[in-house]
Amino acid sequence: MRAVLAADPVASCMVSSRVETNGLDPIRLGGELWAPDSRYSRRAGLPGLCFAGSNLIPLRGDTTALHSFADRALRRPRRCSSIVGPASQVLGLWDELVYDWGPARELRTQQPLLALDREPAVTCDGRVRRVRPHELDHYYPAAVAMFTEEVGVDPRLGDGGASYRARVAELISSGRAFARFENGEVVFKAEIGALSATVGQIQGVWVHPERRGSGLGMAGTATVAATLLRDLGRTASLYVNSFNAPALAAYRKIGFSTVGEFATVLF
């Protein structure tokens, strides 16, 4: 399993971060790790690997492996809110699940996976800093706005936002939420959503609607990437929708390069 994760540390960051912190116990892990029965494979090691939790994340597997993952997933009602990961794996698994789980609310088939392992090529924003625990009430509305805009669903639905607020508070307390405040209001935000031993995945990049086009997103993201590189000794990574041309252009200017392609199925 560790060999599979290490083979592509950027793509596997979301799963690696969980395994490194919590081991394989499903309760602590927040899900299960699935692998096909390797007794029938001629390849050494695991022929496939998939994380099943709040998200379904297939990392490796041929057609036979994806079929086995789908078979296990269909033994119980769908619990995940999305399928996300390497595009070939996600789309192959979705082909197996679409007749039972479809239609998807949205299918994002092209999401370049980017990485940066050197200093940003643009000037960082010196006013972007880690959010402090007492600033949760000021940060939380921006987090809700970002999630709603990006995912298309208000994260407060169902439980009034209790679980999402707890997740945001956890990111803040662990020093992984960053923002630029102006007059007590968030004008830029981003988070390190997953942090493995070698890679940090940036997520939730958002700029206040009235400040878009001013360069805050590029400079702010560069600051978070620089923190990962300089302070945490990790490669910075993120993935972005292919249709988001302004964001892609900004990340290219920072110095990010394409190392793979993700896809996401949203329910």
CA 94 to chain centre: 19
Question: Between the CA of residue 210 and those of 23, 146, 165, 256, what are the distances in Å?
Answer: 43, 14, 24, 26
Give the Cα separation of 93 and 61 in Å (integer): 9
- Is residue 115 assigned to a domain? no
On the question of pLDDT at 40 being above 60, the answer is no
252 in the same domain as 133: yes
Banded pLDDT at 43 (limits 50, 70, 90): low
99 in the same domain as 133: no
160 in the same domain as 222: yes
Domain range for 241: 129-259
- The residues facing 106 across adjacent strands are 266
On the question of pLDDT at 1 being above 60, the answer is yes
What pLDDT sits at residue 28?
94
Q: Look at residues 60, 86, 103 and tell me which one is the last residue of a structural domain.
A: 103
- Is residue 119 assigned to a domain? no
Q: What is the share, in percent, of the chain residues with pLDDT greater than 70?
A: 97
- Is residue 124 assigned to a domain? no
On the question of pLDDT at 44 being above 70, the answer is no
3-state secondary structure of 199: strand
146 in the same domain as 93: no
- The residues facing 1 across adjacent strands are none
Position of tokens 């958002």? 206
CB 224 within 8 A of CB 203: no
What pLDDT sits at residue 37?
78
150 in the same domain as 70: no
144 in the same domain as 213: yes
Which CATH number goes with the domain that contains 201? 3.40.630.30
Q: What is the share, in percent, of the chain residues with pLDDT greater than 90?
A: 95
Q: Look at residues 68, 103, 138 and tell me which one is the last residue of a structural domain.
A: 103
pLDDT digits (tens, 9 = 90+) for 159-172: 999 999 999 999 99
Position of tokens 């010196």? 126
167 in the same domain as 98: no
pLDDT digits (tens, 9 = 90+) for 67-89: 999 999 999 999 999 999 999 99
pLDDT digits (tens, 9 = 90+) for 96-151: 999 999 999 999 999 999 999 999 999 999 999 999 999 999 999 999 999 999 99
Q: How many domains does the chain have?
A: 2
